[in-house]
Amino acid sequence: MSELHQVQEFTKEISEKEFKSILIDNDLVVVDCYADWCSPCLQFRPIFEKLSNEYTNIKFISIDTDGTQWIGEKYDIDSIPRFLFFKNAHLVYEHKGASPLEVFEYFIKTKLLGLQLLDEIKEGITESEFEELIKEYGKLIVEFHPSEDDESEQLKPFYIPLMENYPEIKFLIIELDSKKTQWARKRFNIKDHFPYFIIFNNGENVLSHHIHHPEAIKYAIEEKLLGRTPFTHDSLMPEEKFDTIINAYENAIVFIMKEGSNTSSTLRNYLFHVAEKFPDLPMVALKLEENPWLVDKFGLEKAEFTRYGEEGKKIPYFIFYKNSEIVHETGPVVPTQFEDTIQGKLLKLFAVDEYDHGLEEGKFNTILENPLVIMDIFTVWCQPCIEVRPIFRNLSRKYSEIKFLSVDLDHARWIGEKFDIDSIPSFLFFKDGEMVHKHVGFLEEDMFEKKIQDNLK
């Protein structure tokens, strides 16, 4: 055992008998089930070690699941890291995945030390008692869920900073299992998606919705209770007014959504985060039902997107304007892609033409009319590709005479065949339409610059 921490480490097999002995000899035990090849496991290790020094009344042990395979079978461990919390030799909680220190510490305090950190009603509440709470608190957030609901449990630690940041708001958690609380399912139309939130503002129910991300709770508070919105314009408007608004801004994002759509609601919440990160960027939100002219103006379908990266012009839909011209359009994409579009297309923080959904060979041949070209061939699941992307973008600003482009190989298979790409990332250097160099693998910025100097200068 290291002097730096109090974790007892089992890198080789620990027998089930020895494990049971540890549980019997210690009232409180936390077990870290990990593997050496698991990156999140290794990243979490310093947090686990730090907590072992702070909670000396708890026994912390780590077990390599590759060396001790019986533990995976016994506790049905299908993903790692997995943390097992034992109290008096009984398993009282399982935590899946690596978490921030504050989150993991919350479960130590509540599951092992028995601390009550949130206002929870587990024994049930009548509708009349609930009405009294609505009258008592001007701003009230109620989270409903059945007991032992895993998603609800994982969200609880994030309520603590929300309570600290919004002391004027009452947070209340109510379990639905009691017969006393069954009225709530019918009154608020609660189905089987939890946690389910009801928000009251001065007695008025302003939101009833399943929310599964702490940031979404924060943004619901900002909009529904504090009257803040990330949108410069968010209302019904004629097409002429829309054109006037767009012409007034250098950069703008238009978000077209559908009332009652979970996808639209999720992305609308995400735009609060965008507004925090890019506070000077105007955003316009329009509901398709209120503004039917949008269909013809942008050639939209009335169908809805069902997943990230899906092609088409369905709802919800984003349109990016620069100097009154459309520079990009897209359906739902992951946050990194969305913010990359802002930085590249609107703010011009880099000069890479990014083809996340493929590149036709004819278009590529047109690009090669530029005298100097570097093409980054990547996929979204390739970690070295992700790590080299900031370097590639930085170089695009530095070498303005070179055309930089990146292409997702999964959406442009012809590139792999044409240029014999068998590993990624791959970088192709072109001069006067001819490939003069090919590099496979990650490159540090200084080495990348040397290849530019050697091959394109």
* DSSP code per residue over 256-323: EE-TT-HHHHHHHHHHHHHHHHSTT--EEEEETTT-THHHHHHT--SSB--STT--SS-BSEEEEEET
Supply the pLDDT for residue 2.
Answer: 45
Q: Has 41 been annotated as catalytic?
A: yes
* All structural domains of the chain: 7-112 (3.40.30.10), 120-225 (3.40.30.10), 239-343 (3.40.30.10), 350-456 (3.40.30.10)
In angstroms, how far is the first alpha carbon of the chain from the final one? 56
- Choosing from 33, 41, 382, 385, the catalytic residue is 41
Q: Has 382 been annotated as catalytic?
A: no
Q: Is residue 111 classed as helix, strand or coil in its secondary structure?
A: helix
Output phi, psi for 367, to 5 deg. -60, -35
Tokens for 239, please give them. 């097409």
Beta strand 139-145 pairing with 196-201: antiparallel
**Percent helix / strand / coil, the chain, rounded to 5:** 40, 25, 35
Query: In a 10 Å sphere around its CB, with 0-12 CB exposed, 13-18 middle and 19+ buried, how is residue 353 labelled?
Result: middle
Edge to edge, the sheet with strand 283-287 lists 283-287, 251-257, 317-322, 325-330
Helices (H) and strands (E) in the chain, counts: 17, 19
What tens-digit pLDDT sequence spans the chain (457 residues)?
445 778 999 988 999 999 999 999 999 999 999 999 998 999 999 999 999 999 999 999 999 999 999 999 999 999 999 999 999 999 999 999 999 999 999 999 999 999 999 999 999 999 999 999 999 999 999 999 998 888 899 899 999 999 999 999 999 999 999 999 999 999 999 988 899 999 999 999 999 988 888 888 988 899 899 988 889 888 789 999 999 999 999 999 999 999 888 888 888 888 998 998 999 999 999 999 999 999 999 999 989 998 877 888 999 999 999 999 999 999 998 888 899 899 988 998 888 998 887 899 999 999 999 999 999 999 988 989 999 999 999 999 999 999 999 999 999 999 999 999 999 999 999 999 999 999 999 999 999 999 999 999 8
Angle (CA) 436 422 454, round 5°: 25
Cross-strand partners of 302: none
Supply the pLDDT for residue 1.
Answer: 43
- For residue 311, give Cα distances in angstroms to 46, 257, 329, 330, 379: 42, 16, 11, 8, 17
Tokens for 310, please give them. 């899906």
- Choosing from 33, 38, 382, 385, the catalytic residue is 38
